């Protein structure tokens, strides 16, 4: 029993330290971003803050394929496995990216302010009228020169596997005639899965796959979704949970 108690205490101590490190960076970063003019400047500050969080946590964040990320405006789609995923992509992606996030995050006061200041867009997953309004707004944004980042699963669970996709990211790519960059995040589910509040020590790896492009004849949202899932699943190494009902 004692041999198992020591590692458990060590993990608890690390988890508490990780949250202290998170707060130590996030609070001053939020204050600075709140008063800093210019969206791209604020995003650069957030990127630096996200990287500092992982350094303080002692987490190695490795990125493969950054050179594959299109230089022109594009749509990123990534698997979603943990509370950490948004921070991970903030640390990895250039400042030109805006995030499309579930509207439940507006109920978190600090996070809501930070995400608003970074130009994030919120989408409703429940009430139909609000969902339609949000979808139209995102599609209008897709015609701008801004790059967008989505977690098309919309949510995550502790269970390994790629859940069904919502089609908003793929409709936005077609509307804006933008390439899609599939991204795979490894390690975040183990570090901080759904239902767990104390992070475990670990390593994170982000793989940026070859972009999906087309010429004049745009494919359907469904075909783009299928291609993106195929590329993500190939790298992810987890089960395809497409058969599950989307929640």
Q: What pLDDT score does 140 carry? A: 77
Q: What pLDDT score does 202 carry? A: 92
What is the pTM (predicted TM-score) of this model?
Answer: 0.89
Is the model's pLDDT at 6 over the cut of 70?
no
Q: What pLDDT score does 126 carry? A: 57
Using alpha carbons, select from 47, 34, 56 the residue that is nearest to residue 117.
Answer: 34
pLDDT digits (tens, 9 = 90+) for 127-165: 555 656 666 777 777 777 889 999 999 888 989 999 999
Domains and CATH numbers, the chain: 2-236 (3.40.1130.10)
Q: What pLDDT score does 103 carry? A: 73
pLDDT digits (tens, 9 = 90+) for 193-216: 998 899 999 999 999 999 999 887
Span of 64-68, 100-104, 116-120, 157-161 with lowest mean pLDDT: 100-104
pLDDT digits (tens, 9 = 90+) for 170-188: 999 999 899 999 999 999 9
């Amino acid at each position: 029993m004692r041999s198992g108690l020591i590692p458990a205490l060590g993990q608890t101590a690390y988890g508490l330290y990780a949250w202290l490190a998170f707060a130590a960076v996030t609070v001053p970063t939020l204050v600075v971003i709140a008063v800093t003019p210019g969206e791209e400047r604020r995003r650069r500050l957030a990127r630096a803050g996200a990287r500092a969080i992982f350094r303080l946590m002692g987490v190695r964040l490795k990125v493969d394929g950054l050179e594959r990320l299109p230089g022109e405006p594009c749509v990123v789609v990534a698997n979603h496995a943990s509370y950490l995923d948004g921070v991970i992509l903030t640390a990895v992606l250039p400042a030109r990216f805006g995030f499309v996030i579930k509207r439940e995050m507006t109920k978190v006061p600090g996070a809501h302010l930070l995400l608003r200041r970074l130009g994030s867009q919120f989408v409703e997953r429940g009430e139909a009228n609000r969902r339609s309004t949000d979808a139209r707004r995102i599609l209008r944004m897709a015609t701008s020169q801004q790059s967008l980042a989505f977690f098309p699963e919309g949510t995550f669970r502790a269970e390994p596997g790629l859940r069904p996709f919502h089609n908003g990211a793929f409709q936005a790519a077609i509307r804006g005639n933008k390439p899609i960059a599939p991204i795979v995040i490894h390690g975040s589910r183990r570090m901080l899965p759904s239902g767990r509040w104390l992070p475990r020590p670990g390593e994170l790896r982000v793989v940026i796959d070859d972009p999906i492009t087309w010429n004049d004849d745009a494919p359907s949202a469904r075909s783009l979704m299928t291609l993106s899932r195929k590329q993500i699943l190939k790298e992810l190494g987890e089960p395809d949970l497409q058969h599950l009902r989307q929640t």
